[in-house]
Amino acid sequence: MGFKMGIVGLPNVGKSTLFNALTRTAAAQAANFPFCTIEPNVGEVAVPDARLDQLAAIAQSKQIIPTRMTFVDIAGLVKGASKGEGLGNQFLANIREVDAIAHVLRCFEDGDVTHVEGRVDPVADAETIETELMLADIESIEKRLQNIVRKVRGGDKEAVQQERLMRMALAVLEDGRPARVVDVDAEDLKAWRMLQLLTTKPVLYVCNVGEGDAAEGNDLSAKVAQMAAAQGNAHVIISAQIEEEISQLEPEEAQMFLEEMGLSEAGLDRLIRAGYELLHLETYFTVGPKEARAWTIASGTTAPKAAGVIHGDFEKGFIRAETIAFDDFVTLGGEGPAKEAGKMRAEGKGYVVKDGDVLHFLFNT
């Protein structure tokens, strides 16, 4: 299981430049005019994880297969998108298909790059997009409430539940807050997700700064950080231009370039880590002489569900999982020594997989 993150923002904030860097491709045309990205570009990138290389070296794995993350570069939004302005309808439809939103905000000054609003104000830009998403949710809810009136009157339990949840969402939206702030009970979560409201998507603010501000950020990114903290959202500071340059270099050259810029790691690594935290994702590993492989699961996933990420039959016929903690596998030098030291455990169906677990599944065919 990976996840799909939509890269959104106003035109000319650096979305496509960031996408090109992340996917190491020029498939998304980065140009200085609105709507240069007409269709959403989809790219998959390997999730960098130094632990996987360590495991592969110990097991002398012939192949290393990282887990993957999908990015969707979505056409730039303008004010009025909720009413179909610009490419609004397409923009909103594309957002419904992603798991989370990476909201790219322009935090750099450049007279050669036009701002669609004629000013550089990342907080105002964020508010523009959030407002359009909230307006779209309000319109969607009002239409749906009209459509289920008859079912609610007839006592349809599902319709009654939907109406209650939609009215909860409508109350906060009309108060100028996104639907993600609604406190939903566990028994309502499935029905809540089925509503597919745009403002329930987790948001990660990506502060796109100039090259000179990539290490520490600037006054503009500081304002975004303050806004994100107040909302309970996360933010990362990235120079899309630097990331694009790095993506064209060999690994050793890229590392030297990062050091020269005063950066300890590529922005991609920070973005992915922030994305993992945003969606409460974790990684487990399968390791052997043939391959060392990383798998993505949601935090709190049980062993049978984790096995199902590899193949549905593994979950159906699950017997038990043999697990070694990453630190034990590395410190002791592999599966054999860990087993001899009593660090390999047999776990049943109720075991909750931990980030970094090295797993082997036994199952009935």
CA 311 – CA 205 distance, rounded (Å): 34
147 is in an annotated binding site: no
CA 121 – CA 106 distance, rounded (Å): 8
Q: Which two tokens stand for residue 165?
A: 């949840």
Q: Check: CB of residue 73 under 8 Å from CB of residue 15.
A: yes
φ and ψ of 14, to 5 deg: 110, 15
CA 196 – CA 200 distance, rounded (Å): 8
CA 304 – CA 346 distance, rounded (Å): 13
Q: Check: CB of residue 234 under 8 Å from CB of residue 228.
A: yes
Q: Check: CB of residue 234 under 8 Å from CB of residue 205.
A: yes
Nearest to residue 205, comparing CAs of 224, 178, 180, 181? 224
CA 117 – CA 315 distance, rounded (Å): 52
300 is in an annotated binding site: no
14 is in an annotated binding site: yes
CA atoms 262, 266, 269, 274: torsion sign: positive
Q: How far is CA 225 from the centre of its chain?
A: 18
13 is in an annotated binding site: yes
221 is in an annotated binding site: no
15 is in an annotated binding site: yes
Cα R_g (the chain), whole angstroms: 23
CA distances to 2, 139, 155, 160, 163 from 152, rounded to whole Å, are 37, 20, 5, 5, 8
Annotated binding site: 12-17
Binding positions for ATP: 12-17
